[in-house]
Amino acid sequence: MCGAMGNFELNVFMPVIAHNLLESVHLLASAATLLAERCVEGLRPDAERAHALVEQSFPIVTALVPAIGYDLCAEISKEAFKTGRSIRDVVLERGVLGEKELDEALDLMKMTRGGIVAPGLGGG
């Protein structure tokens, strides 16, 4: 509103705009500091729980597509969802892949590093 009040490009309200901008930046910085101090500081990750949650995640089945194909991955994912078991358990039960191949295909650390990891596509 202050910017609209300046006639003939002689805007005497420009200092008001600058003041409000600086005040907003200060408020944002203070809020970020308080959030860090009162909500984030002292948090510790639970590595075991995080690993278990990732293992239970259905999207990891996509890492198996190059090895066993899309259709079989879809079946495995549906079965895991219906029975409440992990992808790993269903694959091992069906005998689709051996434990060693499954561990290599479902290498969670390799999946989180980024880049292309599928064999034959320039990755792993």
**What integer pLDDT is reported at residue 15 of this predicted model?**
82
Distance CA 79, CA 73 (A): 10
**What integer pLDDT is reported at residue 24 of this predicted model?**
97
Which is higher by pLDDT, 1 or 124? 1
**What integer pLDDT is reported at residue 122 of this predicted model?**
44
Query: Which band of pLDDT confidence, cut at 50, 70 and 90, is reported for residue 9?
Result: low
- Decide if pLDDT at 21 tops 90: yes
For 83, half-sphere exposure in the C-beta direction (CA atoms, 13 angstrom radius) is: 14
Q: Which of 56, 88, 89, 62 is nearest to 74 (CA)?
A: 62
Residues 49 and 22: beta-carbon distance below 8 Å:
no
CATH numbers and ranges of domains, the chain:
3-40 (no CATH), 47-112 (1.10.40.30)
Residues 102 and 88: beta-carbon distance below 8 Å:
yes
Which is higher by pLDDT, 110 or 114? 110
Distance CA 93, CA 116 (A): 28
Which is higher by pLDDT, 96 or 30? 30
Question: For residue 8, how many other CB atoms are within 10 A of its CB?
Answer: 5
**What integer pLDDT is reported at residue 4 of this predicted model?**
63
**Which residue do the tokens 């390799």 mark?**
110
- Report yes or no on whether pTM surpasses 0.85: no
